Structure 1
């Protein structure tokens, strides 16, 4: 083999390895991963009772808390691809989405239409929202607006992640610029996982992230 062929072969090998690494690192962008953590623990492992809401808003025989958790998992099972777009219908309809779309779809499965609810709340108390021109199709998909909305419509809970019994699957957790649904899965210390959609390079939709974040601004339950 000539020196030139050796160099060409080496370059091709490097390109193939680089491409393989990029595809592996970005696999969640292309195919997503919705499987729950295999080694995760649950409430019973820590002597914690599962919370069940007394409310069944959509009248399907399943309480709100369970409906929301199931709705979050049903949404990530579609393997949504992270992309921020505007939709004239409000809810994305093309398998793209962002963190607020996971939340909105989870709540909609329990009978809570955030698009309508947030729009109504903005019309009632516009002074509480930093919005120049309300737009029903996008306002419910903004984290800042949801912070305002849940602050007076949902049940406030502790933001102390080490008070583990207070974190239940189906709760809502809000960060500075992000939002997700609390999972019913926990790590070895009992800290709850979070079901969320944070970006195209995210490894899994259900992750152990609470201890690595220092920007939790709210923790809510939709009903008691």
Structure 2
């Protein structure tokens, strides 16, 4: 009996350590920006559209919005919100895009809901719910294919990847950074899981599941 008790206490101790390690990952994800390692000066694309009329073009607004959002150090967790947008310090990959677009004057929640209602046959949504539909990658794949400017998915064409673009993977999504690795390939601003060490990372060349690359406006 005593041996079982000791083993139980030891098990709880190990579990506690494991939980602490996970919490440590949650709390220490860095929003500090990586250095631009590309030796060639790359001209940044600027949109001709300023949807929110703030004096800053869409492309710059989206990039800045993504950076401002990850600077809040959101913790990774999928939750349902009655208002749609997370407001408690938690979030997932789609929230980086939603808040980035909101900064440029685009309400992704309303836009996705409208597109689902207008083109239900293109979505796998049986019961539309505006509070969650815009936070699902599978829906954003369809939405951006309908509404945004489609660009190359070839990572080697580095000039065509610009800060503020949107990149979609099979089950993930992020915003393209204006900083690049030594090969000229841009970093990605994203929120992938609780074990991330930074929100802006050099992952684009490592991914084999890129399914979309979009720009909101010309």
Q: Same fold (TM over 0.5)?
A: yes
54 and 126 in structure 1: CA distance in 2 versus 1, 3 angstrom threshold: same
- Indicate the residue corresponding to 1:7 in structure 2: none
- Indicate the residue corresponding to 1:139 in structure 2: 133
- The residue matched to 1:30 in structure 2 has which SS? helix
- The residue matched to 1:46 in structure 2 has which SS? coil
- The residue matched to 2:171 in structure 1 has which SS? coil
In structure 2, how many angstroms separate the alpha carbons of the residues matched to 1:63 and 1:153? 18
- The residue matched to 2:61 in structure 1 has which SS? helix
221 and 200 in structure 1: CA distance in 2 versus 1, 3 angstrom threshold: same
- Indicate the residue corresponding to 1:8 in structure 2: none
TM-score, normalised to structure 2, is 0.89
Q: Name which of 159, 175, 182 aligns with 1:188.
A: 182
Quote how far apart the aligned CAs of 1:24 are. 6.4
- Indicate the residue corresponding to 1:151 in structure 2: 145
Q: Which runs of 4+ in 1 moved over 6 A?
A: none
Q: Name which of 26, 37, 49 aligns with 1:41.
A: 37
Q: Name which of 79, 86, 89 aligns with 1:85.
A: 79
In structure 2, how many angstroms separate the alpha carbons of the residues matched to 1:47 and 1:93? 38
125 and 83 in structure 1: CA distance in 2 versus 1, 3 angstrom threshold: same
Quote how far apart the aligned CAs of 1:22 are. 7.7
Quote how far apart the aligned CAs of 1:49 are. 1.3
In structure 1, how many angstroms separate the alpha carbons of the residues matched to 2:47 and 2:36? 24
Quote how far apart the aligned CAs of 1:27 are. 3.5
Quote how far apart the aligned CAs of 1:26 are. 5.7
Bigger CA radius of gyration: 1
Q: Name which of 26, 36, 39 aligns with 1:29.
A: 26
Quote how far apart the aligned CAs of 1:195 are. 0.2
- The residue matched to 2:82 in structure 1 has which SS? coil
Q: Which runs of 5+ in 1 are unaligned?
A: 1-11
Quote how far apart the aligned CAs of 1:33 are. 1.1
Quote how far apart the aligned CAs of 1:82 are. 0.2
- Indicate the residue corresponding to 2:106 in structure 1: 112
Q: Number of residue pairs matched?
A: 206
Q: Name which of 187, 196, 202 aligns with 1:202.
A: 196
- Indicate the residue corresponding to 1:165 in structure 2: 159
Which string of whole-angstrom CA distances, capped at 9 and with x for unpartnered residues, describes residues 145-185 of structure 1? 00000002001000011100000100000000000000011
- Indicate the residue corresponding to 1:223 in structure 2: 217
- The residue matched to 2:142 in structure 1 has which SS? helix
- Indicate the residue corresponding to 2:4 in structure 1: none
Q: Which runs of 5+ in 2 are unaligned?
A: 1-9
Quote how far apart the aligned CAs of 1:212 are. 1.1
In structure 1, how many angstroms separate the alpha carbons of the residues matched to 2:28 and 2:117? 39
Could you tell me whether the CA contact under 8 Å between 1:26 and 1:201 is conserved in 2? no
Could you tell me whether the CA contact under 8 Å between 1:28 and 1:204 is conserved in 2? no
Could you tell me whether the CA contact under 8 Å between 2:22 and 2:194 is conserved in 1? no
